Amino acid sequence: MNKEEARKKIDELTDILNEHNHKYYVLDNPEITDYEYDTMLNELSNLEEKFPELMREDSPTQRVGGEALLAFTQVEHSVPMLSLSNSYNKEDLIDFDRSIRKLIGEKIEYVLEPKIDGLSVNLKYEKGKFVQGATRGNGVVGEDITRNLRTVKTIPLKLKEEIDIEVRGEVYIPREKFTKLNQIQAEKGETIFANPRNAAAGSLRQLDPKIAAKRNLNIFVFNIQRMGNISIHKHTEGFEYLRRLGFKTSNYEVCQSIEEVIDQCEKWSKKRSSLSYEIDGLVIKVNDLSQREALGTRSKSPRWAIAYKFPAEQQKTQVKDIVVQVGRTGALTPTAELEPVRVAGSVISRATLHNEDYIKEKDIRIGDTVIIEKAGDVIPAVVRVVLEERKGEEKPFEMPTTCPICNEETFRLEGEAVTRCMNAACPAQLRRGLIHFVSRDAMNIDGLGESIVTLLLENDLIKDCADLYTLKKEDLLPLERMGEKSAQNLIDAIEKSKKNDVERVIFGLGIKLVGARAAKLLADEFKSLDGLMKASEEEITAVNEIGHKMAESVVAFFKEDRNLEIVEKLRVAGVNMESLHTSNEQDENSEKKFEGLTFVLTGTLEKYKRSEAKKIIESLGGRVSGSVSKKTSYVLAGAEAGSKLDKANQLGVAVISEDEFEKMI
């Protein structure tokens, strides 16, 4: 076959296969068998191998991903990717409708779409060819994930028309594919994804496109962000045009009144579990584009649209057993072992019961039928017992009087809801304590996760956190899945952690009641671990924000011989015991320009680790909170910012980018 014949055949096969891809993945209406498709795909692949210069950009052979990237580059969106205000009941929807009518006073037609639980992306086409795909990021700047998005078979690489257009869609993993993905993860001994959204987001943010290609990602395209001279007057017309171009779009409902919208919300809420994909609500939009223009937008969200969030999905299941876990501080936490049940996108088989009082208050017994939900669609929780299904055979739960791990006596101190194992040498406390010591906010030892800590303990290589610093590469090599390179990397990471500021050591030691913020305050005040160890209860209480109970806990910790022994071993190993904050740094920051301001950090920051940004804010007198409220001064939003950004927009809290943050500091 000569080059010209090959060109014709490659063009013919590319067009035929792309058309069948569209029918199979987008229209769900295949016309040929898998064998026929694979035969043509193999023929095309062989021709492209012989004539690589003839391969087209939209070739279906390029859906498997290329070489891994070193990092994602940033993309500034030509049209901001706005987030939506949320509503949770019909009163919120009525208020939304009332505010629109107040502004434009006309008949309003609404479009209602399923709110796909996935990752929002922007797709850019030039002359009908897919040229760039980006994450939403903070709405203004996202990440270039083009190579990963090219692996999504429902994203057309070439449109039916040669136009310039940008569209917005939601990448997701269908329920069935999500279940299979987690089965594969479990078989490999890798992390199980909490829900399909996390799986989709994690897949698209892999630097190796081949990983994304294996994840069975899908997309619904729901909006035209930017277009040329296309005459579209309604959102529904835009939907139909997107379909003609070859995009996969979700179903939608047109409603002539807010009462119709409310009725549809109730219907969709009941049928959400029967869909092949996860939705966490519905999006209600004004259909007429000229009315949208008249309504305009707020700083981060449009006035012409709102998201309706479904109530937390609840399911009925049975409590098979109640087991007790022991944490790093000795706290005994009862956990319900449940008959597995699917709730809000994932199979739930366990739910924490918090403490003895929680169980008694809800009268939860082993064998009970209970209603569970995922609080915020994330954390499994037992809502109530179905008392009418109680048979009398159920067993009341009693908190153990001895630790289930070390058999030492347990205590519940007056005024506390928690029962504790007081044995500092308890293996469960040791394991949890080690996991805490190496964690990101403590000593931040890269590559030393929960599974490696467990391996080290099981092989008697360590008995406390100080023993980590005596490990040698040859100790690690016999361990499962530990090669020459990974062993050396781990030794290097442990060595690097010796140079950490003493505030990380204080936090890593796991002193009861001392969090990362308190550890920093104590390090700043006493300058060294020795200084803190010598401090009296009164001196510690004198530190701003440190209370009596915390001071009491610190003093008690350093009275224990075992704890003093560990500190001495860390010192001998060369772990830094001094504060690295010099007086010059404190002088530079003495103006405390963030005094009285509260920041919330959300999303993935590019220029700083969250811990670094937090440290800067606190050094300038500010405070970092974990949740957004009306008292929040600023939300510092990075890529993939989620519910905290939505809450900030809802409350009208100022949202700043990293660039704006840098100007402020």
Q: How far is CA 533 from CA 434, 507, 530, 556, 567, in A?
A: 21, 14, 5, 10, 10
pLDDT at 434: 92
Per the CB < 8 A criterion, the answer to whether 461 and 467 are in contact is yes
Confidence band for 26, pLDDT divided at 50, 70 and 90 = low
Q: Is 344 left (phi over 0), alpha (psi -120 to 50) or beta?
A: left
At 214 the three-state DSSP class reads coil
- Kindly tell me if the per-residue pLDDT of 373 is higher than 50: yes
Helix or strand (DSSP H, E) at 364: none
- Kindly tell me if the per-residue pLDDT of 8 is higher than 50: yes
Return the residue matching tokens 């891994």.
Answer: 68
Torsion 145-147-153-158 (CA) sign: positive
Q: What is the DSSP string of 96-108?
A: HHHHHHHHH-S--
Q: Which pTM was predicted? A: 0.55
Residue 202's Cβ-count burial label (10 Å; 0-12, 13-18, 19+) is middle
pLDDT at 67: 57
Q: How far apart are CA 640 and CA 315, in angstroms?
A: 30
Count other C-beta atoms under 10 Å from residue 44's C-beta. 22
Domains and CATH numbers, the chain: 3-64 (1.10.287.610), 86-300 (3.30.470.30), 314-411 (2.40.50.140), 427-573 (1.10.150.20), 590-664 (3.40.50.10190)
- Kindly tell me if the per-residue pLDDT of 537 is higher than 80: yes
pLDDT at 585: 44
Per the CB < 8 A criterion, the answer to whether 448 and 438 are in contact is yes
Per the CB < 8 A criterion, the answer to whether 282 and 264 are in contact is yes
pLDDT at 522: 94
Confidence band for 334, pLDDT divided at 50, 70 and 90 = very high
Choose among 663, 660, 664: nearest CA to 638.
660
- Kindly tell me if the per-residue pLDDT of 63 is higher than 90: no
Q: How far apart are CA 437 and CA 445, in angstroms?
A: 9
Please give the structure tokens belonging to residue 262: 């409310």
Task: Write the pLDDT tens digit of every residue in 194-235.
Answer: 778 878 888 887 878 888 888 889 999 999 999 877 889 999
Per the CB < 8 A criterion, the answer to whether 25 and 153 are in contact is yes
Torsion 437-440-445-446 (CA) sign: positive
Per the CB < 8 A criterion, the answer to whether 342 and 315 are in contact is yes
Q: Which residues of 2-14 are buried (b: 16+ CB within 10 A; e: fewer)?
A: eeeebbebbeebb
Q: How far is CA 228 from CA 75, 126, 239, 376, 589, in A?
A: 21, 11, 16, 40, 51
At 318 the three-state DSSP class reads strand
Q: How far apart are CA 565 and CA 387, in angstroms?
A: 53
Catalytic residue among 9, 115, 362, 593: 115
Rg (CA), the chain: 29
Per the CB < 8 A criterion, the answer to whether 595 and 517 are in contact is no
Strand 419-421 vs strand 598-602: parallel, antiparallel, or unpaired?
unpaired
Provide the mean pLDDT of the chain. Answer: 86
pLDDT at 588: 45
Task: Write the pLDDT tens digit of every residue in 465-501.
Answer: 999 999 999 999 998 878 888 899 999 999 999 999 9
Q: How far apart are CA 37 and CA 27, in angstroms?
A: 16
Strand segments (E) across 354-459: 365-366, 369-375, 379-385, 395-396, 410-411, 419-421
Confidence band for 586, pLDDT divided at 50, 70 and 90 = very low
Answer yes or no: 115 catalytic. yes
pLDDT at 402: 93
Q: How far apart are CA 365 and CA 206, in angstroms?
A: 44
pLDDT at 190: 66
**What does the H/E/C string look like for 215-274?**
CCCEEEEEEEEEECCCCCCEHHHHHHHHHHHCCCCCCCEEECCHHHHHHHHHHHHHHHHH
Choose among 421, 486, 490: nearest CA to 462.
490
- State the greatest distance between any 2 C-alpha atoms of the chain, in Å, as a whole number: 90
Confidence band for 591, pLDDT divided at 50, 70 and 90 = low
Confidence band for 587, pLDDT divided at 50, 70 and 90 = very low
pLDDT at 311: 80
